[in-house]
A = this chain, B = another copy of it.
């Protein structure tokens, strides 16, 4: 079952792009992740792909367009990862579905923490039209989590939690990990996904102790 491990960044781009364009996106992801969008020059991106500064403009309209392509493709891939059928409409109960969606969300962000950092922290550099397009995709994520939580609460599987607040907390856990996760750290993406899935279940369970004042 083990494939050759490919670069988690490179595998994000589809076949609709020529190899040079993919190389530029990959270089841009590393640059943006390290120095931010404004801290990265188009020269950095091109040079990182082994090309001259002008080459970027053969494949993209602008530096902002490069970021948009990264954000668009990155978000769509992340959404795919948590939208697989067994999560969306599995026969399983809400606790199992919560575990599934949380572990997939976390695992994807850990595996793609470099690209995800760009997707999470550099969106302010997009122009309004592009930002709105990305925001549209992003709105799917809380919906996915909310549906599971609400169903679990309704069915009595979960404690009667505030779904909105819990969803924000769950998303925070998955998002913030791109700030500190290291590939050479103690946890593999899958291990981290399982741990955070457990946490998610804890967070919707009734707390035995006394309530806060």
Separation of A185 and B172 alpha carbons in the complex (Å)? 17
CB of B196 within 8 A of CB of A180, answer: no
The yes or no answer to A51 lying at the interface (CB within 8 A) is no
A169–B199 contact, CB under 8 A?
Answer: yes
A6, CB-defined interface residue at 8 Å: no
CB distance from A33 to the nearest CB of B (A): 10
Stretch at the interface among A66-74, A129-137, A200-208: A200-208
CB neighbours (8 Å) of A97 from chain B are none
Distance in Å from the Cβ of A144 to the closest Cβ of chain B?
17
Q: Which residues of B contact A173 (CB under 8 A)?
A: 169, 172-173, 176
A54 at the interface (CB under 8 A from B): no
Count of chain A residues with a beta carbon within 8 Å of a chain B beta carbon: 44
- 8 Å CB contacts to B: which residues of A37-84? 37-39
**Do the beta carbons of A35 and B36 come within 8 Å of each other?**
no
For residue A189, CB closer than 8 A to chain B, the reply is no
Could you say which residues of chain B place their CB within 8 Å of the CB of A207? Answer: 198, 201-202, 205
Q: Is A203 a contact of B201 with CB atoms below 8 Å?
A: no
State the majority secondary structure of interface residues on A. helix
A121 contacts chain B at the CB level, 8 A cutoff: yes
Number of copies: 4
Q: Tell me if A195 is interfacial: C-beta within 8 Å of chain B.
A: yes
- Mark out the residues of chain A between 182 and 213 whose CB falls within 8 Å of any chain B CB in the assembled complex: 187, 194-199, 201-203, 205-213
Q: How far is it, in angstroms, between the C-alpha of A206 and the C-alpha of B209 when the chains are bound? A: 11
Chain B nearest Cβ from A137, distance in angstroms = 16
Question: Contact: A209 with B213, CB < 8 Å?
Answer: no
B195–A162 touching, CB < 8 Å: yes
Please determine whether A172 and B176 come into contact, CB atoms closer than 8 angstroms.
yes
Partner of A175, one of B125, B179, B209: B179
* 28 intermolecular pairs with C-beta atoms under 8 Å apart: A35-B124, A37-B39, A38-B38, A95-B209, A99-B212, A103-B212, A121-B121, A162-B195, A166-B199, A169-B173, A172-B172, A172-B173, A172-B176, A172-B177, A173-B176, A176-B176, A194-B212, A197-B212, A198-B211, A198-B212, A201-B212, A202-B205, A202-B207, A203-B203, A205-B205, A205-B207, A205-B208, A206-B208
